[in-house]
Structure 1
Amino acid sequence: GPLQPLIIPLKAFPRSIPVQVLQIDTSAVVALPFEVTVESGRRIAAAVQRAAGGDSFERVVVSSVANEYCGYLTTAEEYSRQFYEGGHTLYGPNSLDFVAACAAELAAAVAAAPSEVPAVQRVPQQRSWDLRVHRYLVDSAEPLARPSVLRDPQFRDYTERVDGAWEFAWNDGAPGSLCWHQTLVRIEGSTDGGATWEPARHNGRWVDDQGTEMEVRHLGESAPGHGYVARWYNPAFGDDRLHRFVVLGADGAVRLASAPFS
């Protein structure tokens, strides 16, 4: 339509679309990269049956969203009425006729191929992609020699959008200096008033940022390094134990411990 150039330029439309026909005994699976409506699937199956010959395939199964994704595939009637969740059909109301013809041609070739031929392939000689690339990994950085406390542990009460949690904020090196794939922060508990500490467990699991009860967030630059906050969302209280947040190094050693809280 007239608004199409505002959505996506024509050169951005896929030019090569995978259509696959897999023969399993007397059945054929037609794999397409579209969300195929029920009636479209029926028409594709019928086209495949006609092209391959009545005795080639006893059953034709049309599989949607196979390997790639190219939007909806609808009949011209559905396209005109938009009776398919308001989705998009990239190539207009005649998309089904074209795809059905491609599937039928390939199915006929598969049905006619000798049994010793493992595959019938019709692929472009060359394919190219023009993709935007964004780097999400942080650059490596030197670790801060000694992290420091920004805010002692405090409980943030529940709101309509955020669960309640104990929070602890500290200053550390740039994100690239931390080992995010290892445990950064854990909770420790003490039953003797803080004389000794042990890693805390809840429901049989360690309480740290590798599980589902704690998160660690980067707050941005905060001299002399960067600020971070750890939130413990499911505090397991109910006795006289003390708890504390502990920041760990790459070797698992304690780099910083918060003030105790209960």
Structure 2
Amino acid sequence: MTALVAGALAGPHEALAPKAAIGAFVLFCRIGACLMLAPGFSNAQIPAQVRLFVALAVTLTLTPLLLERVPGAVFGDDPIFTLKVIAVESLVGGMIGFLARVFYLALEALAVGAATMLGFSNPFGFQVEGDEAMAPLATLISLAAIALLFAADLHWELLRGLVASYDVIPVGADFNARLALKQIADALGESFRLSLRIASPYVIYALVVNLALALVNRLTPQVQVFFVAMPFVAAGGLLLLYFTIKPAIDAFVSGFGAWLISG
């Protein structure tokens, strides 16, 4: 009798366990794909096992909140529909993570340009987010922006937007390629404007200094003006960097946070 009662009580739980596992895996497809491309979480310096465990921890934390968003058709016997849902969820999560990463890619590109303009380009630097070498100044700017992403609690806004995406693109819906391309184009434009506004002091400094050196070199062609002026250009770049690095990083984090909150 005890065995029969135990079997009757365990029956619903045993039937619910496969559905919960499948639902958690469907949620993991979107959350894991987002964290695979999101800035900070996808840092190449973090071991792959740690990134995987972070994605699993976030998924299991959000599963009680989002499990009811998974439609019942996912738990059916149609493997084609289940594979379609997995593919669409991975695309949606990857798009969300890529949209956030675009801002940091734009910042890195203009930081490399700013380092070159200030005379601090160095082929022996290393890159925080990728595999190609970057100038140390660009690495410093990128690392500071990533650190402030977590210090300013913007990673919570990223997770909030990930949860809110289930209201905009529910599980089981088709992937809207036109909407995705529009979102990527808007993010590219916004990130470029934000990064260009941050790098504008260095662009102006490079234009003024190089124009002045070109005029001096034209007046005194016997002297290697660019070679002689290199220490002074670097000193002026350090002075400009001293006064602009903090407001530049603050402006980037504020703009990125505003995009996360509104987007």
TM value normalised by structure 1: 0.29
Q: Which structure would you say has the larger Rg?
A: 1
Higher strand share: 1
Structure that is richer in helix per residue: 2
Return the TM-score normalized by structure 2: 0.29
Q: Which has the higher contact order (CA 8 A, sep 6+)?
A: 2
